[in-house]
Amino acid sequence: MPSRAGARFAAVERGFELPELPDVEIYREYIAATSLHRKITRVELRSASILEGISRRRLKETLEGRRFESAKRHGKHLFVSISGRGFLALHFGMTGTLKYFKDLEKDTEHDRMRVSFSNGYHLAYDCRRKLGRVGLAEDIERFREAHGLGPDALDDRLGFEEFLRALEGSRAAVKSTLMDQKRIAGIGNVYSDEILFQSGVRPGAKTRGLGEERLQRVYRSMRHVLLTAVERRADPGSMPASWITPRRGKDARCPNCGGELEKIRVSGRSAYFCPKDQQG
DNA sequence: CCTATAGCCTGACGGC
DNA sequence: TGCCGTCAGGCTATAG
């Protein structure tokens, strides 16, 4: 499995930085392709600080002897169902990755939790900066409510009307509004910049003053960007050349007009945009 | 009610 | 060479 999974999940094996909705969707597929329906023989927790609301002991007792049955995603959260016991809830923070492997020598450096299966393989939750979280959930809806998470950005039920409702009342910059997981779940710093670039809207513009036409463009770009990123398996090297996502960094130039991209801070986060093509 | 910000956490990088 | 400050941005808690 790892060799076959390796080609499809090359980006996962390299490890995502800054996992947002598309990255977590690929993690979901990765778990579905590798880790379901096998008996969990052992759970090893190497860093208790990643646990959220549960003890080490409870995690072990809940998982050992059971099987993972399915993998679902909401926003940036992954939910892996445990036979008869709800879900393992995974959040990846900024540096969380997954790795499925057999040879323990290949164990990753910042492996915070390791789940071992009866076939001799292991699934590692690797999180260098320990900003990710591992917990248990009885059901996904409950978890969503407890965490105040908004609708998933790619949920088919999130039409333009529902999108407007989710943004309603925000007085913040549109970039912050899009990244607010309580309004819409799944968008982070990198993809919010891409969405706004493709909408021709400045990240620092107030959501309130945008008007329906611009918001319509933001909505369409949101779906387009996220769907395309999932299609391209969230691999940074595979994103279209017309996007600004691959150009974050020094001396960044606009793929559209060739002008210099500007870097500003919006609510404490770095935002890249093209001052010429984004006038909104 | 709302938004902005500090702090958690680690490693890469640039300046001296 | 090596030390140190800064930055990266996921989240939460708290300040405004």
CB proximity A269–strand C (7 Å threshold):
yes
Q: What pLDDT shows up at residue A201? A: 94
Query: Which nucleotides of strand B lie under 7 Å from a protein CB?
Result: 1-6, 8-11
Amino acid identity at A276 = K
CB proximity A93–strand C (7 Å threshold):
yes
Distance A268 CA to B3 C1' (A): 12
Q: What pLDDT shows up at residue A103? A: 81
- A35 phi/psi in degrees, rounded to 5: -115, 10
Q: What pLDDT shows up at residue A9? A: 87
Query: Which nucleotides of strand C lie under 7 Å from a protein CB?
Result: 7-12
Q: Which residue is nearest to nucleotide B1 (CA to C1')?
A: A169
Distance A205 CA to C16 C1' (A): 22
CA–CA dist A148, A74 (Å, integer): 12
Nearest nucleotide relative to A76: CA against C1': C10
- A103 phi/psi in degrees, rounded to 5: -80, 115
CA–CA dist A197, A273 (Å, integer): 6
CB proximity A130–strand C (7 Å threshold):
no
User: Which residues are registered as beta bridge partners of A70?
Assistant: A81
pLDDT tens by residue, chain A, 280 residues = 554 566 788 888 777 878 999 999 999 999 999 999 999 999 999 899 999 989 999 999 999 999 999 999 999 999 999 998 999 999 999 899 999 999 876 666 789 999 999 999 999 999 999 999 999 999 999 999 888 999 999 999 999 999 999 999 999 999 999 999 999 999 999 999 999 999 999 999 999 989 999 999 999 999 999 999 999 999 888 999 999 998 887 778 899 999 989 888 898 888 999 999 998 7
CB proximity A20–strand C (7 Å threshold):
yes
CB proximity A181–strand C (7 Å threshold):
yes
DSSP state for residue A12 in the 8-state scheme: H
Burial zone of A130 (CB within 10 Å; 0-12 exposed, 13-18 middle, 19+ buried): middle
DSSP state for residue A266 in the 8-state scheme: E
Q: Which residue is nearest to nucleotide B10 (CA to C1')?
A: A129
**Maximum pairwise Cα distance, chain A:** 59
Q: What pLDDT shows up at residue A109? A: 78
CA–CA dist A231, A22 (Å, integer): 9
Q: What pLDDT shows up at residue A14? A: 78
Q: What pLDDT shows up at residue A3? A: 45
Q: What pLDDT shows up at residue A70? A: 97
CB proximity A176–strand B (7 Å threshold):
yes
Distance A119 CA to B5 C1' (A): 48
Distance A174 CA to B4 C1' (A): 14
Q: What pLDDT shows up at residue A16? A: 80
Burial zone of A274 (CB within 10 Å; 0-12 exposed, 13-18 middle, 19+ buried): buried
CB proximity A182–strand C (7 Å threshold):
no
Q: What pLDDT shows up at residue A40? A: 98
Strand A122-127 relative to strand A269-273, pairing: unpaired
CA–CA dist A70, A35 (Å, integer): 9
